[in-house]
Structure formats: structure tokens, C-alpha cells
Structure 1
Amino acid sequence: MLADLKPNQAVKHQVAQGHHFKTNSSEVSTETFGALINLAGRQRMLSQRIVLNAVLSTMGHESALETAREALALFRVSHAALVHGNSELPGVFFEELRLVYFGEIEADRKITEFISLVEKTISACESKFRTAPDLLSELGQQATPIVALLNRVTVVYEEESKKHAKVQRKQHHELMSSIQNIAKQARIVSVNAQIVAARAGEVGREFAVVAGELTNITAKIDELVRVAVGNASV
């Protein structure tokens, strides 16, 4: 069945059916989450710019349709990036996002239909078709629902970002604890080595130097851990 689908359709079918994601949240950086949230939020602004300029075109604003087309192009590219991903973004990469795009909410279908409606409306307005007023009316009616839908998508990204940040903080704390435990064990080894070296007299002098250097290293590790913990708490 998938062999009969175009590449984008195959990806969409796999995601909609809940196939394994190429990326999971733990592999996504905080910066990428920020970019996704900003991009999803920008979609709301673009949708309203599209509707506004489509309406303004009927009032004699010469550049309104061109502005609407430019906004639509950005809107379409952004939606494709959010759903299918690109070289910088992962696409749909966690279950809650799959559900909002392809589950009962059907955000992907509704957004795609909005894009199609905008294209028809702009073309009708440019050609002064008789269908233009009806299409403009329908587009106006979609303005509020599409913003609400896009806002819901943005909230999903924001909630996952919060979960991701919480996991990152926990992993950071566990890493610092592990380093501290290792440094503690190293200090114990160093102290024992210095005691053995002292008992060995002249023979153990070089060994004492090594043990002392180990003590210095563990002190530096402790300082690095304190700095890292302090920065994480800021």
C-alpha cells in the first residue's frame, strides 16, 4: 500500500498510523524546541495576515493579494516543516503531536484545507470570479477556528518542551551526583595512597607525589561540579 503513495503521503500515512518516530524528545535540543514553538506561534500570525489581506484586496488595496500570497507561501512551508521536518527540524516526533495532527483533532487535514481555501480565494479575487465573495466569506469564517487550532498545536509543543526541560534537569543532577561520587572515591584512594607512601619512606616518595596530584585533581573536579550546579540553578 505504501508503495502506491507519493513520498510525503507515505510519511504522513506512517505518522498517522502511529509508526515509530525517527526522532524522540530526548534527542531534541532545547534550542530546537524553542524554534518549534516560535514557528508554531508564527503560524497563527500568518493565518490572520492572510485573511486580513484577502479582505483588504476587496477594498482597493493594490498590494494586498500579493501580501496574502507571500504569507501563504510562508505558512505552507512552515506547516510542512512542522509536520514532515527538514534539515533542522524533526517533524512529528512524539505521540501527543501525532494525535493533535492526525488524531481526532485532525489539525493536519484542517490546516491543509485552510491552505487550499486561501489559494482558491486569492485566485478568485485576482480573476474577479463570481465565486470570490462567497470564498471570502468562508475564509473569514475560518479565521477564528484556524487560530484556535494553531494555538492548540503550539500548546502541545510548549507542554512537551516543559517535560523535556524537566528530564534534562534530572539527568544533569544525576550526572553531577555521579561525578561527585567518583571524586569522593578518588579522594579516599588518594588519602590511602599517601598513608602507604608515608610508611614506605624514601621508596614511597614518588608515589606520594602521584597521590598528591590525585588529590589536586579531585579538588578541581569538586569545583567544576559546584560551578555546573550553580549555573543549572540560575
Structure 2
Amino acid sequence: MTTPSSSAHHGAAHRATAPARDGDMSLVNIAARQRMLSQRLVLQTVLAAGGSTKHLEAARSALQLFRDSQQRLQSTPEHLDSAAAQTIRAVYTGPQGVGPMIDAFVQQADRTLELAERRSPRTEEALSTLVDSTDPVLEALNKATSAFDQITRARSDSMMRELSAIVASIQTVAREAKVVSFNAQVMAARAGQHGREFAVVANVLSGITHEIDGLSLQAVSLAGRSRAAA
């Protein structure tokens, strides 16, 4: 009999081991996860072929997750710029594309699980074919992961260049504002009593330029850390 405490423990364990949703992951992480999923799928299928209902269900779950993730990865070109989209299409559907290899792996896994579920005598042969495809499909998934990593790095570099340009523009404006502030303070001093209100405005402008300097330095530091972590 299942006790409330054991049910709670099982639920916590399930949450701890449940895979992250695709929406919570970057494309390069999803592509990298496909390699792990392919290995999990093969292992669970091997165990399912031995008659384990539990591992049959686990293999089905891994296969569905693999399919869903792969569909998202292959639909990525719809959301990329033309150069990046061309890179991903070439990886999957070009002359040396990995798409057919990955599709064949999925179909073989599905076929093997169907045979295992029916306890067919052809299960062992199908399983052997699936296991033999492990290394080739890993190479295919590695190639796809490299392509997504290349695109991610290119995007990051582009964003860093844009950020650097924005910071440079801000610093230019800040320098010009300092000159205006200094001139305004000089003119206010010359105006004496009549320039007091003008002096207040000049001082406020001077304070703003100092804040801009601080923010631009923070942006430069952030850009440097992001580039180093890439």
C-alpha cells in the first residue's frame, strides 16, 4: 500500500528528475540534450526488450521528448535571419545533412518498441540495428549541436558590438553635456545674482553627466564579463 509520505517522496523524486521544458532552454542546450536523450532512449529500449513494462514506458517517454525537441530544432530556421537559417537547413537537409540519419534513428526506435511491446521474436534483430546506429546518430547530433553553438556565439558577438556602439554613443553625449554644464556654470558665475537659477540647472546637468558616466562604465564592465563567459 502506498502511504502519503511515500507518495510525496515519489512526487518529489519525479520533479527532481523530470527533464526541463524546451521553453526553458536555449536552442544549443536543447541540441546538446538530444545526445543524452538518444543514449537514454537506447538504454531504456534495451531494458524494455527484456520484458520490463516500466522501462517500455520510460523508453516511450524518452522517444516522445526526443521527437518534440527535434521538431523544434528543425523548425528553427523560421525564426532566424537568412544566414543562420541557411546554416541550420544545410546541417539537416543539405547534401551531408544529418536529418535523414536522425529520422531513421527515431523510426528504428519506434519500431523496436512496438516489437518489444508485442514480445515479437523480431525484437532482438530490431534492437541490434538500433544499438548499431548509436554512434552514427551521436555524430549527427554533435554536428547539429556545433551548428547551433556557432549561431549562438555569432548572435552574442553581434549583441556585444551593438552594446559597445550604444555605450560609445552615450559616452559621447555625456562628454558634450559636461562641456555644456561647464559653460553654463561659467556663465552663471559671470551673471552673479541674476545667474543663480541658471547655476542650479547647470549643477543638475553636471550631476546627470556623472550618473551617465557611472552607468556607461557598468555597461562596459557587463559587456566585458559577457564576452569572457562566451
Corresponding residue number in structure 2 for 1:160: 151
Give the structure with the larger helix fraction.
Answer: 2
Tell me, yes or no, if structure 1 residue 144 matches structure 2 residue 135.
yes
Tell me, yes or no, if structure 1 residue 196 matches structure 2 residue 201.
no
Write the letter of the residue equivalent to 2:89: R
In 1, are the aligned partners of 2:51 and 2:119 still within 8 Å (CA)? no
Write the letter of the residue equivalent to 1:156: A
Partners of 2:201 and 2:109 lie apart in 1 by 74
Change (3 A) 1:168 1:84: same
Match of residue 118, structure 2, among 127, 132, 137: 127
Q: CA RMSD in A?
A: 2.4
Change (3 A) 1:102 1:168: same
Partners of 2:119 and 2:50 lie apart in 1 by 13
Instruction: Show the 5 A alignment for 1:62-211.
Output: 62-84=53-75, 90=79, 94-211=85-202
TM-score (norm 2): 0.78
Corresponding residue number in structure 2 for 1:35: 26
- Larger displacement relative to structure 2 (61-70 or 219-228): 61-70
Partners of 2:215 and 2:142 lie apart in 1 by 42
Partners of 1:104 and 1:182 lie apart in 2 by 52
Deviation per CA, 1:148-171, whole angstroms, max 9, x where unpaired?
111111111112222222222222
Cα shift at 1:71:
0.6
Cα shift at 1:33:
10
Number of aligned residues:
200
Runs of 4+ in 1 over 3 A off after TM superposition: 58-62, 89-93
Identity of matched residues, % = 37
Instruction: Show the 5 A alignment for 1:219-234.
Output: 219-234=210-225
Q: Structure 2, unaligned stretches of length 5 or more?
A: 1-22, 226-230
Partners of 2:128 and 2:188 lie apart in 1 by 90
Deviation per CA, 1:1-51, whole angstroms, max 9, x where unpaired?
xxxxxxxxxxxxxxxxxxxxxxxxxxxxxxx89621221111111111212
* 3-state SS of 1:94 partner: helix
Corresponding residue number in structure 2 for 1:26: none
TM-score (norm 1): 0.77
Partners of 2:216 and 2:40 lie apart in 1 by 49
Partners of 1:65 and 1:185 lie apart in 2 by 70
Change (3 A) 1:229 1:106: same
Q: Structure 1, unaligned stretches of length 5 or more?
A: 1-31
